[in-house]
Amino acid sequence: MKKWVRQLAIGTVALFTFGIISPSHEIWTDLRKDHDTDDYERREAAAIEYSLNLPKRDVPVTDLLQRARNVSYEKFGTKIGPKIQADFDRHIFPEMASVLKKTYALDTVDRTALAITEQPAGNYGERIFNVYDKETGDELLYFHVRTEKRPQEGYYYNFHYHSFADDFAVHHSLGDIYWSKDTPPRWLS
């Protein structure tokens, strides 16, 4: 029942019963519950039908990007993270997202099967995460961060990735973040 029709009916009944059956009477709440349940079920059925009719390639890349950010923060840990997170969000992550979106857009990639490895490398390991195809097991990208000591400057974190397109041989730079002259802590710490 349309909302305005229901309100008209409630008003009319209240008027003809001289207020004995008011708009707050329990018969109207039962009617509202039935109406709200029907409306909810109708919307839920429409949403399910819509999602079933979506083309397989329209799965949003947002989930992949969010997982990439979360795994990166996990790798930084509580000692490194607070110091480099702002620079990472400002300079590195947009580049990382661009690479992920380009890979996501490839015609040869099944977008619904893309996944990110769960555990980043600890200690002084480079791996942040790998992007792979869940169905075939093929790895597509390796995202790494390397700690570099530059003479007279100090320590930097060099963010880069390797791609399946060149057999993972080339370092594709995403950018650098300065740490300090002091030796940085281990990853995941």
Q: Mean per-residue pLDDT for 128-143?
A: 90
What digits encode the pLDDT tens for the residues 68-96?
Answer: 999 999 999 999 999 999 999 999 999 99
> Rounded to 5 degrees, what are φ and ψ at 142?
-120, 125
The separation between CA 55 and the C-alpha centre of its own chain, rounded to angstroms, equals 20
- The pTM assigned to this predicted structure is 0.66
Sheet containing strand 172-178, strands side by side: 114-116, 127-133, 139-150, 154-163, 172-178
What are the pLDDT digits (tens) for 90-111? 999 999 999 988 887 776 677 7
- The residue length of the chain stands at 189
In 54-180, which ranges are continuous DSSP H helix? 62-87, 93-105
Q: What is the pLDDT of residues 138-154, one digit of tens each?
A: 899 999 999 999 999 99
Amino acid letter for position 54: L
pLDDT bracket for residue 23 (50, 70, 90): low
Q: Please tell me the distance from the alpha carbon of residue 52 to that of residue 44, in angstroms, as a whole number.
A: 12
Q: What is the pLDDT of residue 59?
A: 46
| Cβ neighbours, 10 Å, residue 121 | 16
